[in-house]
A = this chain, B = another copy of it.
Amino acid sequence: MRLYGFWRSLATCRVRVALRMKGLAAEEVPVDLLRGEQFEDAYRSVNPARAVPALVVEDGRPPLFQSLAILEWLEETRPEPALLPPEPLARARVRALALIAAADTHPLHVPRVRRQLAERFGADDAAVHEWGCHFIGEGAASLEGHLARDTQTGRFCHGDAPGMADICLYSLKAGADMFGLDLAPWPTVLRIAAACHALPAFAAAHPLAQPGAPQKPA
């Protein structure tokens, strides 16, 4: 398999974790989002949505795209270890927690949004940084509200084994790390992120642990 990604992409981080949890390896092909390589013709033919990740799983078939769709595909084709619990209501809970991070938080601070803030409103680096911190904080607060009130929360988001929600929560924490945002106001989120980071599949997928990253994670 070939994974088009970028060291700091949180969506790529999610796929990296899931691949490792499932015991799979993929060659990673870097697409430099900060230099705009996703807009070049060569990459447009890989993913017309001009975003990473994209996962080539079979020559001659279009690459998979969108991190959560890739995670679901991994779960359907390599069921062990499970990223989702067996019971439908529990699966809905895990998917919904995952979406808080991957759909309601992460898309609000990606490079194409930061660029629009600068171009349309003259937002400087500090203002863009505060924007990102605001929405990462809102995502953490939403996760905390759900996790802290529910007895289904365990060592991880759902019980005592890591799954799809933990992968997305961990990517939110990785985003906070890159923004220098302390998640201490949301202790359950912080606790679960630490439990994830103690696992090699997570720590090795962290943006700051990738080739090309400016520093090592704390």
Q: How large is the interface on A (under 10, 10 to 19, 20 to 34, 35 or more residues)?
A: 35 or more
Distance to closest chain B CB from A21 (angstroms): 17
Q: Which label, helix, strand, loop or mixed, suits the secondary structure of the A interface?
A: helix
CB of A146 within 8 A of chain B?
A: yes
Contact with B along A88-114 (1 / 0, CB 8 A): 110111011011101110011000110
Candidate in A49, A70, A123 with the most chain B CB atoms within 10 angstroms? A49
CB of A197 within 8 A of chain B?
A: no
Q: Are A66 and B95 in contact (CB under 8 A)?
A: yes
Q: Are B48 and A146 in contact (CB under 8 A)?
A: yes
Question: What chain B residues lie within 8 Å of A108 (beta carbons)?
Answer: 107-108, 113
Bound Cα distance A69, B98 (Å): 9
Bound Cα distance A135, B49 (Å): 12
Bound Cα distance A100, B49 (Å): 8
Chain A interface residues (CB < 8 Å from chain B) = 44, 48-51, 57-58, 61-62, 64-66, 68-70, 72-73, 76-77, 88-89, 91-93, 95-96, 98-100, 102-104, 107-108, 112-113, 116-117, 120-123, 127, 130-131, 134-135, 138, 142, 144-146, 149-150
